[in-house]
Amino acid sequence: MSAEPDPRLVYARTADGHDEAEEPRRELAAFARRILNAVDGRRCVGDLEAFARPGELGPILAELEGRHLVEVVGLSDEPSEVERRAQASAEQALLEQAKRGLHGLFGAELGAAGHVWEARVADCVTMEVLRRVLREAVDVVYFRSGEAAARRIVAAVRPVFEQARDPK
């Protein structure tokens, strides 16, 4: 096994691994025992990283697998908890970036009526909610202030939405 196992791999304890977790008999380092106890047949390697120091997990899993205490039982299609948190954090950063880009634009294009749209944008909790609010808001700006004004609103957030679609 490489030092960096695929974060989607799912490990389960073998019968010996269950016995060892319930009644320790072997000499295992504390960090290896911690990983053995965390292996449950559902968590993927990406989730197990929270139980180890950086660079430790691959060698620990290799040791546990070599001692026939754990085995690979599958490949997760779902992102790990670590990956989900990273995705959520990245989305929140993009959402805040989009909100900053839109700040003041609705007031500039719609006058006092724009403050309602400013508040609706500020209340958006995800990029999908923001996308829905913007569809409606851009239509309102288009009908009240014209195509050029609607294009300015779209131009202010287009780079953020493109980045959200292709986060490279």
Q: How far apart are CA 113 and CA 1, in angstroms?
A: 62
Q: How far apart are CA 91 and CA 161, in angstroms?
A: 10
* Confidence grade of residue 128 (pLDDT, cut at 50, 70, 90): confident
Same domain? 94 vs 157: yes
* Digit-coded pLDDT (tens) for 87-97: 889 999 999 99
In-domain check, residue 31: yes
Same domain? 73 vs 102: no
Same domain? 74 vs 24: yes
| Per-residue pLDDT, 47 | 85
In-domain check, residue 1: no
| Per-residue pLDDT, 1 | 44
Same domain? 112 vs 43: no
pLDDT at 110 over 50: yes
For residue 12, give the H/E element and its range.
strand 9-13
* Confidence grade of residue 167 (pLDDT, cut at 50, 70, 90): low
Single out the residue in 78, 94, 127 at which a domain terminates. Answer: 78
Q: Give the torsion sign (CA, 99, 104, 107, 112).
A: positive
In-domain check, residue 106: yes
User: Quick one: which of 40, 43, 37, 49 has its CA closest to 5?
Assistant: 49
pLDDT at 55 over 70: yes
Provide, rounded to the nearest whole percent, the portion of the chain with pLDDT above 90.
Answer: 65
In-domain check, residue 46: yes
| Per-residue pLDDT, 119 | 96
Print the domain residue range for 63.
9-78
CATH number assigned to the domain comprising residue 24 = 1.10.10
Instruction: Please identify which residue in the block is written with the tokens 């304890």.
Output: 13
| Per-residue pLDDT, 63 | 95
| Per-residue pLDDT, 166 | 61
* Confidence grade of residue 52 (pLDDT, cut at 50, 70, 90): confident
* Digit-coded pLDDT (tens) for 6-40: 888 999 999 999 999 999 999 999 899 999 999 99
Same domain? 59 vs 28: yes
